[in-house]
Structure formats: structure tokens, C-alpha cells
Structure 1
Amino acid sequence: MDKTRRSSSSSPASPSAAASPAPARRAASMPVPASPAPAAGSPPLPAPGTASDEPLRPVTTRDIAEAAGVAQSTVSRALNNNPLISDAERRRIQDVAQKLGYRPNPFVSAFTSQVRSYRRSPKGATIAFLDCTPAGQKFFGDAYSEGAAGRAQSLGYRSETFRLRDVGSVERFNKILFARNTHGLLVLPVAEDIDLRALRLENLAAATVDYTLRRPELSRACTNYFEGMRLALRKLLEHGYRRPVFCGRRDDVTRVSPHWLAAYTGWRELLPPEERMPTYIDAEFNKNRFEQWIAMARPDAIITNSEHFFIWAGECGFTPPRVAYTSLSTKQRFPCTYEIDQNPRQVGAAAIDLIIGQIHRNERGLPAQPKTVLVNCAWKAHQAAVPPAPAAIPAAPKPRRSRRTST
């Protein structure tokens, strides 16, 4: 045995060492100094389980249970928004947790979510898709539905589509969802301004896609229409076009096109006054008015969501490749120079993420503050770009006084 070691162990402790507290076992070689007492008049140091930016130790559900005077299992249910706990008791326990500075462990939360998903087998967990398309009208939500169904299946859920016209009424649909113990509801795009406030959502996690559903106000996943217009303008300028115009129908403007119109108008207002192009918003599909407008505007690129404007522009001599036909969606049957892919499958998948997130957090019913998730668009080119020469654009006719459709 080393003599130095033996002598040090057998030497008597100094008075100062005897008075100091014993060091921690895991840090025997480095004594930990005692915490200084707070100065007179200063606030006391926070104790374990009190709110602070850096608590001395993590607050546990047991601490919350002791402070709230309830069982630990009750605390867990309250923090997870379990409907078995009354609203008043749930808020009281959550307030206690907030005052104590409780912070959930993100790794434990992720693990718990995985366990919940595993327990919900595809046979037992269903998300209902509601199609409200009236009889005789075409359904435009196929891509949304496909993307949503694929995402739900990949996360362990199955989907089932219900057509409201076949079910008969919203009240009967409510009974079907209750009888089948459905966990979530996805409202697909509605073809008209339909009111679905009769839906019983208190036991459902719900969301919708696009901006078409106005009532009730649900969280939604949407195409980023504003960024889609900005993308179209940026790409057209890169390809040499300098006179792009936006054409739209008034009913589209009131539902979707405000985002397109806002992006186009914002871009246009930054141009010199002599370079600003007029937009064309039509409420009646008046071909004569469009012919007068396009002869005055003389665009080299037309951006629209309606193929009628491409057809009319071609009849007036404004044809590709010198005039770029740019569609704001990939649904047009008319051949276009460029298209904006709205990524509807990704939008449907994002709506499912909203619903499953609510399920994991035990959130049901109408949200106090609905969320909107935006999915960006993609650019598609179908024809070689030919930057237009000024002489290639049809010459403007003699000035006319009819400019009522210009904005």
C-alpha cells in the first residue's frame, strides 16, 4: 500500500474540514461548496417544484398531484386533456402544473405518442372523410382524398368516405360517427358555401382542406395560393416575359383568388406606373368585354385558373409560344405553357397530420383558435419558353373609352 495514501487517510481531519458538509458520493474528489444563504431583503431561492426558468430538479406529476391534492393518474389524465376529467378540474390541475413550472419531457411525449399509435390498430381507428358534393356535380377533391388516405394508413389509421347526399342529412351522419366510434373527421372541399354547423364535433378531432368550408371554423390545410402566384411571376420574369396579367372569375376571387389577387397586386404596385398591367376580373364571362380588355392590355403572359380566358385569348391572336399561358392549377384540360402544381396530395396529408395531432393531445371539438397549415406549390413547364419580341404582340387598336373591367 502507498505510504502517502495511508498517511493521508489516517491523519486527523482539520477543524475546517470537520465543519464542512460531506461531499457527494459521485464527486468525492471535488467537494461541493454549500449554497450561500440569501442576503437580507432578497427573494428566497426557488425550491424544487416551484416555477423558475431553471428549476433545481424537474417537476414531476407526483409533485403536481401532491400540490393539487389528487392522484397521480388524475394529473396524467388532466395534462393529456382526457375527457374523463371535468373541464373545471382539468383547468385547475393544469394551472397548478403551470405554477410549479412543469415541462413535459419531449422524448417521453414522442414515445407515448408512438405507443398510442401502436395500440390503435387500423381495424379500430377510423378517420371519416366527408364529401358534400351535391348530386349532379363533379367532385374535385380526389387528389386531396388520396393524399389523406395514404397518410392516414401510414400512421396506423384507416379512412372511410361518406357522401352526404347518400347519407341523407348531417344529423344521420352524426349518428353514424357515434355508432362507429370514429376518432377523426376530415371535411373535403365543398362545391358551394354549405353550412355544416350541425356536425357534432365534441368527441371528434376534425380538420378540413382548402378555404371552401366557412362554417364551422375548423383547422385546415391549404395550398399556399399567395406563394403560388409569386412563384408564377418570378418564373415568367426569369423566362423573359415582362407583361404578365392576372385574369379571374369573380366567384373565384371571393373564395380563393384573394390570395392570388393580393400577390399579383403587391408585385404590380412595386413597378413604375408606366409598366403596371391591369387585371381582369369578370363576373359574367362576357367575351366581348374580354376582347376589348386584352386588345388594350396586350399581355405577353396570361395567368389564370380558368381555361376560358386561354381560349378567348387565342381567338384574339394572343397564342403560345409568344404569349405564355400559365395555369394556376394542373386541372386544366387546355394545353398550357406553364402550370402551378398546388400539391393537393400533400395538402390532404397535412390535414391528416392536424387530425392525428389532435388525437394524440386529446383535443376534441371546435378549436378556440383554428390553425391553417400552408403547403407550397411547384412549377411545371410544358413548352419551350420563347421570350416575346415587342413586334410579335398583336398591335393595339385605336384607343377606346371602355375600361370598366380594368382594375
Structure 2
Amino acid sequence: MNSPKSVRKSVTMNDVAKAAGVHQTTVSLAFRHHPGIPEATREKILAVAQRLDYRPNPLVAALMGQLRNRKRKGTGEVIAYLTNHPPTFPWRMEAAFYAMYEGAVNRAAEMGFSLQEFDLGTGNMNATRMHDILLARGIRGIVIAPLPAKQKVIDLDVRQFAVVSLGVSLQSPQVERIANDHHQSMQVAFRECLRRGYRRIGFLIGRGLSDRLEGRWLSAFLHEQTLLPAGQRLRPLLLDPFMLNECKSHLASWLPRTKPDVVLAPFGGWQKSWRDALMQLSGNPDLGVVNLTLPPSPGIFSGIQQNARNLGQIAIERVVARLQHNELGPLVLIQNTMLHGEWHDGETLPDRAGMTK
């Protein structure tokens, strides 16, 4: 008679504690990268756990995360909202940025947390000092706000924090990024133009912005152009910088050469000035205008609502989830959580389907 196969005995946290010569509570805190555990002790415990092939029970880990979160709820534990804009750029004046912040503040309060801004761009602040301040205040959750132009890296040690970022520009540290799905937004806007009878669809964007978005708008636009007859395909105009007063000469050349019947661009809160200039320089009072980055109050403009407030809410939910599951530190690979944009029907893209052949 064959003997039953041996069953692998699960290694427990207590086994790790005995092998490392520490208390079980110390092991638990080390696994969660608690700031009260010295780095040398944590590394020793992790090495022992790896040698013993310790594998945490996912059901127990999830339950403990829920219990810890219940203890947090209502205590007002702080989540850091990390900004890094220079004093010359008051980010709160940017409607979309402030809407993200408001969404994050409200969702944090609903979940029993409070959100507090920490500014890397002021005075003599640096990443090392910010790291120490956050740890000293017992803060373990961070939302990194959209970065200023041309910045892709924050030299912050995030190994002891649950971190997500807003926008797709952050390349390092590698964390989960919460952003609008720019590719989908361009497809929605482009196809809405076609549905309304527009056939010569133009696109303006700043080179720097396109690079920060990893070409998502541009690639979607070029793809949609391939579906049109060759005679209707327009080359996009990439501007550097994307500032109206500094690129009027380029517009004055591009508009009569390409003759678009509608122009798509991320006009943001400067949509009226851009529309007035485009109509004047093109000599076409019926030129359609689509804003890919509508402000929360879009007025008469047609375009894409990126749902900035929802992005802020999702960022908080993801940070809290990472805290619950002890998912601290950078990721091996960047993860993107993309939120679809929504079409807003304004007055700057009137229906031409009945007037076109």
C-alpha cells in the first residue's frame, strides 16, 4: 500500500519570528514596512522569510487589512497630496488640477481620511527632507499631483509608502498612474466630428505635452486619419511652445494650407481666445472647434470632459486599497488606470451633416 503523499507544511509568521529571533509583532510590522522597524532588522526578517519560503495567506492578509482600515476610519489619518510646481505656477488656478484635488479631498473624507498638501516646490524643500517629514508625521499614503511641464521624475524614496500618481507623465518612481484615457478621448472627439458632417479634421498640440502624454492623443488622431480618403487627411500641427501669442505665425501658415473645417486641441481654460484667433486667421466664421480638455464649466464649448474630479476620487481609493493590502513601495512595472472621457455637446461643433455632400 502506497503511503500518502507528504503535504507541504505552511510556514507561519511565528516560524519566521522564531528563526529571526524576534517577536511575531516585529515580523508583521517588518512585512508592512513600518517606519518603526530599523532597516537592518527588516532586511534580516525578509531574508529569513525568503529562506523559509514563507507565503502569506491572501485571505488573512485581506482580513487584517480591513480590520486595520476600520481602526483608521474616522480617525482622520492623513494622506499626503504631493505637489511640485514652482511658485510662478499656482496650480490651484488650473481648473482641471484643482478639480482633481477637490475630488481627492472629498473622497478622502468619505473614507475616514484627511488629505493634506505637501509642496516639494517651495523654499529649500527637497525629496530627502520631504521623505523624513512624511515619516515623522506617520503618513504612509501619498497621491502625487500632476507634475509641472518637462518633469518626469521625483527623486523620492517611496519604499515605505502606498503611492499613486495623477496623470501619465511620472516615470520614476514607478507607481500606479491614474489618468484620462487620451487615446479613447481622441477617438470619441474625432468620430463625433465625422458624425456631424466634418471631413477635414485638424489637430493642434504642443510638442512637450504630446511627449508627456506618450503620444496618446497624436497616435489616436493619426490612426483615425488613416480611415479617411487620402484627400481628406490633414497633418497635425505640433507647436513649441503651445502658447497662442507665440504661435500665431504658424497658425497663419497652417490654416490656409490645410483648410480644416474643424480643429481639435487641448485648449483648456483658454478656449475662447484660441477659438477667436482660429476663426480670424482662417477667415472661416463657421470653423468647428473641439476642446479636448474642457474645464469643469465648459460654457458654449464642445469637447471632452476628462472628469478630473473622478480622477482624484479614484486616486484616493487606490491609495487606501494599497494601505489595506500593505502594498508599499514602487512597482516592478508601471500600472495605468485609465478613465474614459465623456463627450460634452456644446455650440462650437454644430451639426453639418445635412449641409455636406
* TM tier, smaller: 0.7 to 0.9
Tell me the amino acid that sits aligned with residue 338 of structure 1: S
8 A contact 2:202–2:263 mirrored in 1:
yes
298, 316, 328: which one aligns with 2:259: 298
Alpha-carbon deviation of 1:122?
4.3
1:286 and 2:286 correspond: no
- 2:229 corresponds in structure 1 to 272
Look up the SS of the partner of 1:359 in the other structure.
helix
1:317 and 2:273 correspond: no
188, 194, 200: which one aligns with 1:237: 194
Structure 2 unaligned runs (5+)? none
Once the two structures are superposed, the pairs formed by residues 2-401 of structure 1 within 5 Å of their partners are 46-49=5-8, 61=12, 65=15, 73=24, 77=28, 81=32, 86-87=42-43, 89-90=45-46, 93=49, 104-105=58-59, 109-123=61-75, 125-139=77-91, 140=94, 141-166=97-122, 168-170=124-126, 171-194=128-151, 197-256=154-213, 258-283=215-240, 285-306=246-267, 307=271, 309-315=274-280, 316-319=282-285, 322-331=286-295, 337-383=301-347, 385-387=350-352, 389=355
CA distance in 1, matches of 2:138, 2:350: 54
Structure 1 unaligned runs (5+)? 1-36, 39-43, 51-58, 392-407
Alpha-carbon deviation of 1:264?
0.5
Tell me the amino acid that sits aligned with residue 86 of structure 2: P
Q: Which has the larger radius of gyration?
A: 1
Alpha-carbon deviation of 1:377?
0.7
Q: What root-mean-square deviation, in Å, do the aligned CA atoms of Structure 1 and Structure 2 show?
A: 3.4
Normalising by structure 2, what TM-score?
A: 0.79
CA distance in 2, matches of 1:124, 1:332: 28
CA distance in 2, matches of 1:334, 1:159: 27
Tell me the amino acid that sits aligned with residue 101 of structure 2: S
8 A contact 2:85–2:148 mirrored in 1:
yes
Identity value in percent: 21
Tell me the amino acid that sits aligned with residue 119 of structure 1: K
1:170-196 Cα deviation digits (max 9, x unpaired): 244333212211121222112233476
| C-alpha distance 93-181 of structure 1, shift in aligned 2 (>3 A) | same
Please identify, of 367-376 and 331-340, the stretch whose mean Cα deviation from structure 2 is larger. 331-340
CA distance in 2, matches of 1:61, 1:144: 42
Tell me the amino acid that sits aligned with residue 160 of structure 1: Q
Alpha-carbon deviation of 1:227?
0.8
Tell me the amino acid that sits aligned with residue 380 of structure 1: H
- 1:9 corresponds in structure 2 to none
Alpha-carbon deviation of 1:329?
0.9
Tell me the amino acid that sits aligned with residue 191 of structure 1: P
| C-alpha distance 122-192 of structure 1, shift in aligned 2 (>3 A) | farther
8 A contact 2:73–2:111 mirrored in 1:
no
Alpha-carbon deviation of 1:365?
2.8
Query: RCO greater where, 1 or 2, for CA within 8 Å and sep 6 or more?
Result: 2
| C-alpha distance 191-48 of structure 1, shift in aligned 2 (>3 A) | same
Give the paired residue count: 334
| C-alpha distance 181-255 of structure 1, shift in aligned 2 (>3 A) | same
Alpha-carbon deviation of 1:94?
5.6
Alpha-carbon deviation of 1:203?
2.3
Tell me the amino acid that sits aligned with residue 318 of structure 1: N
| C-alpha distance 197-278 of structure 1, shift in aligned 2 (>3 A) | closer
